[in-house]
Chains A and B, each alone.
Chain A
Amino acid sequence: MEIYFPIAEMSMNVFWILLLGGSIGFISGIFGVGGGFLLTPLLIFSGVPPAVAVATQANQLIGASVSGVIAHWRRRNVDVQMGGCLVAGGLLGSYFGMRLFAKLDSHGQIDLVIGMCYVFLLGLIGLFMLQESLSKIYRQRRGLTPAVAARRSHTWLQRRLPLKVRFPKSKLYVSIFLPLLVGGMVGILASIMGIGGSFLIIPAMIYIIGMPVSLVAGTSLFQVIFIAAMVTWLQAIQHQSVDFLLALFLLAGSVIGAQFGGRYSHKLKGETARIILAALALAVSLRMLYTLVATPADPYSMEIVTP
C-alpha cells in the first residue's frame, strides 16, 4: 500500500516504512542505542531527501526515546541531574551544529562532511568495541580472570577542570564542564549526522565522565529526548523538513520493534551483542566510505533551491 508523504513529496510503501521502523526499534531494543545511525542512511537510500530524512528521524526519535526512558525510569536507572547537564550542553551544541549544517549545505559540502563523520566516528567506535569484546572473549576462553575495568581512575579531564559538582546518583564528583562539554560535542555531531547521538554519548559517558554502566542507557535516552525535540523544532521552523506522517509510521514500527528487541536481548550474551553492534557500525562506515571514494555513476547532481 503506497502512501504519499506530503513533506518528503514522494510515495512509499507503508509496509516498508513499518518494517524499517520495526527493525530499527528491534535493534535499539537489543542494544540500547537509538539506531539513528542506521535509520537516516536507510531513509536516504529509500529516496527520501537527506534534509527530510535527518529532520524526520529526529521527530521519530523523540517518541522512541520517551517509550524507552519510561522503562528505565521504573528501574531507577536515570540520573536526571547528569542528564540535565548533558542536555544543557547538547542544546547549545545542536544549535551550532544546525548553523554549521546550513552553512555547509549552502556550499554543497554537506554530503562530504556527513560521509566523513560517519566513516571516522562509526569506524573508530566500531573498531574499538570489536577489539574490546574480542579480547574479553579471548580472556574468557583462556580461563583468565577478566581485567577489572579501571573505571574510577580519574582522567586528566576529570582532575583539571574547575567547578566540581556532586552527582549523587552516579556517585561522582566532577567538574560541571565535563557533561556540558560532552553534551555539546555530541550535540554538534548528532545534528550534522542526523542521529540521536546515543552511539557517541554512551562511550563518552563511560570513558570520559566515568558514569556507572547501569545508568548510562537510561540517562542517554533521557537526554536524547530533549536534543531530538530541539532538532525537530529548529528543522520544522527553519526548513519545514519534518515529515510528521512519515515519523508517525516509523514510530509505530519502532515502538513495536523495540518491545521485541527488549525481550530478545535477554537471550543474547553481552559480548555477542556488542560484536554484532560493532559489525553493524563498521558496515555502515564502510558503506559510507565506498560512496565517498567510488567513482559516481553521474558526477552531476541537481538540487532545487526554491520550491
Chain B
Amino acid sequence: MIRVWLLLILLLAKPVAAQELLADLSSHIISIKTDFKGESLVLFGTLDAGLLPTDNLVVTIFGPEQQVVVRRKELAGAVWVNVPNVRFEKVPSFYAVHTALPLTSAVADTVRQRQFIGVDTLPLPAAKVKYANVDDFRQALIRQKKQAGLFQESFGTISLLGRLFRLGVSFPVTVPTGQYMVNVYLIRNNDVISAQSIPLQISKDGIGAEIFYVAHKWPWLYALGAILTAVLAGWLAAVFFRKV
C-alpha cells in the first residue's frame, strides 16, 4: 500500500515541477504539396509565473542532419577554380533560435554552449582537416545557410502577454524534409529550470510526394515511365499539330 502511495506521489510531483513551462505548435505536420510556398507556424504557451527579470525564454529548432561540402574558388591563371574543399558532417539542415529578451540576459555562455543557443554554438565538425583555415569555411557555410533562410537567429522576438507567450516561426520554400525538433527552454539565473521538446514532421505530400517516392524507391520504373511519357507526349503533339 505504501508503495502505491509513493508511486502516486512520484507521478503527481513530477509534472507539477515541470509545469513552469507549457508550449505547443499550431501544427505538428507541414505538408509540402505542389502549391507549397513555405510555411509559417505559431509556437504558443504559458509560463507559470510569467517572465521574471532574471529569466529568459529560448526556442531552438533543429532539422535533420546532413553532410555538406564547402568549396572555395581560387584564381588559377585566368579562371576561377574550386581548389580546396572541406566536408562538414552533422550539419543541421535547418536551425533557428529565438529568445524573449536579448541573448545575454540571464543566459551564460556555458548554458548557450550546452543547449546550442545561437548559430556560433553549433559544433559543425569538419571531416577532414587539411587546411588551417577551416573556420573560414565554417563561417561561409553559416553565411550561406543564413542567406537561404535555413539558419535563423532573432533575439528578443518572442512576444509576451502576462503568462502567455507566442512566436511566429517561418520555414522557407526550400525547407528540407524530415523529423524536426522544437525545443523551448525557460532559463532563470543561468540555469534551465524548465524545458519542453515538441516534434515536428515536414514531409512531401500529394502528387509531388508520389513522384519523389517512386523516383527513389523504384528508379528503373520511374526512368521507364519518364521516357515513355516523353515519347508519348512528343508523338501526340506531332499527331495533333498535323491535324490543326
Residues on A facing B (Cβ under 8 Å): 2-7, 9-11, 59-60, 62-68, 70-71, 108-109, 111-112, 115-116, 225, 229, 232-233, 236-237, 240, 242, 244-245, 247-248, 251-252, 255-256, 259, 292-296, 298-307
Residue B235 interfacial (CB < 8 Å): yes
Residue B98 interfacial (CB < 8 Å): no
Q: Given A112-B81, A244-B211, A245-B208, answer yes or no on A255-B234 (Cβ-Cβ < 8 Å).
A: yes
Q: In this complex, what residue of B is CB-closest to A61? A: B230
Report Cα–Cα, A10/B32, bound state, in Å.
10
Chain B 119-150 residues near chain A, CB threshold 8 A: 136-137, 140-141, 143-145
How many residues on B have C-beta within 8 angstroms of the other chain's C-beta atoms? 60
Contact partners of A248 in chain B: CB under 8 A:
229, 233
For residue A69, give the distance in angstroms from its CB to the closest CB of chain B. 8
Q: Which of B37, B66, B144 contacts A307 (CB 8 A)?
A: B66
Contact partners of B68 in chain A: CB under 8 A:
302-305
Contact partners of A233 in chain B: CB under 8 A:
223-224, 227
Contact partners of A116 in chain B: CB under 8 A:
79
Contact partners of B209 in chain A: CB under 8 A:
6
Q: In this complex, what residue of A is CB-closest to B145? A: A302
Q: Given A67-B234, A304-B67, A307-B66, answer yes or no on A4-B74 (Cβ-Cβ < 8 Å).
A: no
Q: In this complex, what residue of B is CB-closest to A235? A: B223
Which of B85, B216, B244 gathers most chain A CB within 10 Å?
Answer: B85
Cβ–Cβ contact B69 & A108, under 8 A:
yes
Report Cα–Cα, A70/B66, bound state, in Å.
46
Residue B215 interfacial (CB < 8 Å): yes
A248-B229, A299-B72 known; 15 new pairs, CB 8 Å cut-off, are A10-B174, A11-B36, A60-B230, A63-B230, A66-B238, A67-B237, A70-B234, A108-B69, A111-B82, A112-B81, A236-B223, A299-B80, A300-B72, A303-B71, A305-B87
Contact partners of B155 in chain A: CB under 8 A:
none
Q: Given A299-B74, A302-B70, A304-B68, answer yes or no on A4-B208 (Cβ-Cβ < 8 Å).
A: yes
Report Cα–Cα, A232/B228, bound state, in Å.
11
Q: Given A109-B81, A233-B223, A244-B225, answer yes or no on A299-B66 (Cβ-Cβ < 8 Å).
A: no
Cβ–Cβ contact B82 & A301, under 8 A:
yes
Which of B32, B174, B229 gathers most chain A CB within 10 Å?
Answer: B229
Residue B219 interfacial (CB < 8 Å): yes
Contact partners of A296 in chain B: CB under 8 A:
73, 80
Which of B204, B224, B233, B244 gathers most chain A CB within 10 Å?
Answer: B233
Q: List 27 A-B contacts (CB under 8 A).
A: A4-B34, A6-B34, A6-B215, A7-B212, A10-B173, A11-B37, A63-B230, A63-B231, A108-B85, A225-B231, A236-B222, A236-B226, A244-B225, A245-B34, A255-B233, A259-B237, A298-B140, A300-B71, A300-B141, A301-B72, A302-B140, A302-B144, A304-B68, A305-B69, A306-B66, A306-B67, A307-B66
For residue B24, give the distance in angstroms from its CB to the closest CB of chain A. 27
Cβ–Cβ contact A300 & B137, under 8 A:
yes
Chain B 194-244 residues near chain A, CB threshold 8 A: 204, 207-209, 211-212, 215-216, 219-220, 222-227, 229-231, 233-235, 237-239, 241, 244
Q: In this complex, what residue of B is CB-closest to A73? A: B238
Contact partners of A236 in chain B: CB under 8 A:
215, 219-220, 222-223, 226
Give the number of residue pairs across the A-B interface with Cβ within 8 Å. Answer: 184
Cβ–Cβ contact B80 & A295, under 8 A:
yes
Cβ–Cβ contact B173 & A11, under 8 A:
yes
For residue B80, give the distance in angstroms from its CB to the closest CB of chain A. 6
Contact partners of A295 in chain B: CB under 8 A:
80
Contact partners of A229 in chain B: CB under 8 A:
227
Cβ–Cβ contact B211 & A6, under 8 A:
yes
For residue B171, give the distance in angstroms from its CB to the closest CB of chain A. 13
Cβ–Cβ contact A242 & B173, under 8 A:
no
Q: In this complex, what residue of A is CB-closest to B241? A: A259
Q: Given A7-B215, A62-B230, A240-B215, answer yes or no on A300-B140 (Cβ-Cβ < 8 Å).
A: yes
Contact partners of A245 in chain B: CB under 8 A:
34, 207-208, 211
Which of A5, A66, A294 gathers most chain B CB within 10 Å?
Answer: A66
Report Cα–Cα, A195/B48, bound state, in Å.
63
Report Cα–Cα, A236/B215, bound state, in Å.
7
Q: Which of B33, B226, B231 contacts A4 (CB 8 A)?
A: B33
Cβ–Cβ contact A292 & B80, under 8 A:
yes
Report Cα–Cα, A23/B71, bound state, in Å.
34
For residue A55, give the distance in angstroms from its CB to the closest CB of chain B. 9
